[in-house]
Structure formats: C-alpha cells, structure tokens
C-alpha cells in the first residue's frame, strides 16, 4: 500500500510542477487534472474514500468548467508548450527545488511514519471518513455555505478579470 501512496504523491508533485511551470492555461489544465486525481488517490489511500470522491467530483465538475471558460476567453494563438525553453527551464528549476527540499528532509522522523487509517487500529469497525461526513454537515454547515459563497464570488472575479475590454462572449480576435 505504501508503494501506491508513493506513486500518488510522486504524481501529485509532478502535476503541481507542471501547473506552476507552464504559463499557458491550455497545457496547465492537464496538470490540474493530474493533481486532482493524484490528490484524491492520496486521500483514498489514507481512508477518506468518500471525501476523495466528493473532492474529485466537485473539482472536475465545477472548478474545471470555470477554468475551461476562462481559458477560452484568454485565447492565445501560439501558446507555450512543455518543450519551450522558458517552460523547460522553470520545470527543471522546480524539480531541483523539490529535490533540494527532499534531500534536506531525508531520514528524519517523518520518513516512513505514516500508515493509512485502516492499518492504524486492529479492531476498526468504521472507515475513517464516515464520522467526518456527518460532522461536515452538522457542525460545519455554516462553513459549507461560506465555502459555496466564496466559490461563487471567485467565479465572478475570474470571469471579470478574463473579460478584459470586450463586452460579450463573441469578439473579434
């Protein structure tokens, strides 16, 4: 199980580097999908299967639609791909930074000190995320509504920023 978790974490870091190093929204979208899938795999590996499913559906169903719409409004004729010189340099710089931090943190107490929720206790009756789902709606209902409101405001801010000087969806390019 730890090999699968390491694979998910490795994919998560590579996806984050792909998003951070690419200025074009077209090619960074693939990095966002990889980050979402790998992050949900890490959550599922640690016992949060329902939380990872909800995160994956909400992220890909809602926020990626907003991202696609804003990328369509910010169309550029010749976007930079992953093999451009500036993007490749930024990618290698981020990989070097990750390797440097990994080298500095190697061998500490946090190296192999994690286990999934199911492996933490021998007599586990419930999964790790069943109690959290009820608490999310019971005690955190106000924060859930606040989070939905923040996402709605973020949608309007992104659409206003990407609109520019044009006043409609159809414009002369």
Average pLDDT over every residue of 5-19: 88
Question: pLDDT band for position 126 (50/70/90)?
Answer: low
Average pLDDT over every residue of 69-95: 78
For residue 173, the 8-state DSSP code is -
List pLDDT tens digits, range 21-75.
Answer: 877 777 777 777 888 889 888 888 877 777 788 888 887 777 677 677 767 766 6
DSSP string for residues in 86-146: HHHHHHHHHHHHHHHHHHHHTTSTTSS----HHHH-TT--S-TTHHHHHHHHHTSHHHHHH
Which H or E run contains 20? helix 2-21
Q: What pLDDT score was predicted for residue 28? A: 72
Q: Which residue has the higher pLDDT, 147 or 122?
A: 147
Q: Using the Cα atoms of residue 168, residue 26, residue 11 and residue 50 in order, give the sign of their dihedral.
A: positive
Distance (Å, whole) CA 127 – CA 118? 7
Question: Which domains does the chain possess?
Answer: 2-113+127-163 (1.20.120.1200)
Distance (Å, whole) CA 54 – CA 144? 13
Distance (Å, whole) CA 135 – CA 5? 26
Average pLDDT over every residue of 98-103: 87
List the one residue out of 38, 31, 32, 33 whose CA is nearest residue 12. Answer: 38
pLDDT > 70 fraction of the chain, expressed in percent and rounded:
67
List the one residue out of 69, 83, 64 whose CA is nearest residue 21. Answer: 83
Q: Are 88 and 17 in contact (CB under 8 A)?
A: no
Which H or E run contains 19? helix 2-21
Please determine, for residue 169, whether its predicted confidence score (pLDDT) is greater than 80: no
Give residue for tokens 């993007």: 87
Q: Which residue has the higher pLDDT, 85 or 74?
A: 85
Please determine, for residue 111, whether its predicted confidence score (pLDDT) is greater than 60: no
């Amino acid at each position: 199980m730890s090999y699968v978790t390491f694979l998910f974490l490795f994919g998560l870091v590579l996806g984050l580097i792909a998003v951070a190093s690419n200025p074009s929204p077209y090619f960074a979208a693939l990095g966002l999908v990889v980050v979402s899938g790998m992050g949900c795999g890490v959550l599922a590996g640690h016992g949060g299967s329902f939380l990872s499913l909800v995160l994956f559906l909400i992220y890909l169903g809602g926020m990626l639609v907003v991202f696609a719409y804003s990328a369509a409004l910010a169309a550029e004729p010749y976007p930079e791909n992953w093999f451009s010189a500036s993007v490749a340099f930024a990618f290698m710089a981020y990989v070097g930074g990750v390797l440097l931090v990994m080298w500095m943190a190697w061998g500490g107490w946090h190296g192999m000190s994690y286990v999934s929720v199911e492996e933490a206790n021998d007599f586990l009756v419930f999964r790790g995320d069943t109690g959290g789902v009820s608490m999310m709606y019971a005690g955190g209902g106000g924060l859930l509504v606040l989070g939905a409101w923040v996402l709605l405001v973020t949608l309007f801010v992104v659409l206003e920023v990407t609109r520019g000087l044009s006043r409609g969806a159809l414009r002369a390019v």
